[in-house]
Structure 1
Amino acid sequence: MGFTGDQAQELQWHRIRWPLMSQEDADRLELNSLLDELEQRQLYCNREQLKESVFSPVRKPGESWTERLQWLLMTDGFGFRSPLPLDAGTRALTILAGYTWREVAEYLATVIVWDDGGAEDRT
């Protein structure tokens, strides 16, 4: 069992490019990937504000971006919203819980504006 041509190219790209990135660049890429995945599942937020806050210069020394994200999500909802009802948004919350703690995702589920018809328009 091998890789498809596209998979091999993707692996090679990451192998070649990622060592050239700074840790912060790699972290930013990972956060962007997370936010992209949430948007694919119709969970939107004030993306630029969240990214600026996660990578703020006032971050504690040694604090990872995921630790900062956890703290931020427990203090400010960053305008999370979805056109879906809560029960249809559970997959997005599960994905988010993989980067934060389950408790953070559970808390966020209580402050997300669900069934928001204009959710996508404000990203």
Structure 2
Amino acid sequence: MTTETLIPKDKFDYETVDRLKSCSYDQIESIIPELLEWLQDMNWPISQPIAEYLLPFFEKIAPEILKILQGKDEVWKYWMLVTFGKITKDKLVLEEINRIAKNPTQEEADNEVSEIANEIIN
């Protein structure tokens, strides 16, 4: 099985998500960015199962989460905070959450990203 076969093809690709569940972190490490793309909108059917699969690996994928939180896609940031914010112990991710809570960009404030960040730090 190649890593390409572990990347869902569409938002209903439950078959691929089921294959993912039997994989170790080492097997999926190279496709973490692609898997996180499926968490851009947690209303997509396969988003929740992928998020649940990734939760145990959070500290290992924290650098990728940090990139998202430092990016410009506020909806994606929102879902990253909702999904992973309360469980993180990663210092850099926590610093970014703190920054979003205390000094959000206008876009972060407009998209309620700062509200979620405030809930996490309080």
Q: Which has the greater radius of gyration?
A: 1
- Normalised to the residue count of structure 2, the TM-score between the two structures is 0.31
More helix by share: 2
More contact order relative to length (CA 8 Å, sep ≥ 6): 1
- Normalised to the residue count of structure 1, the TM-score between the two structures is 0.31
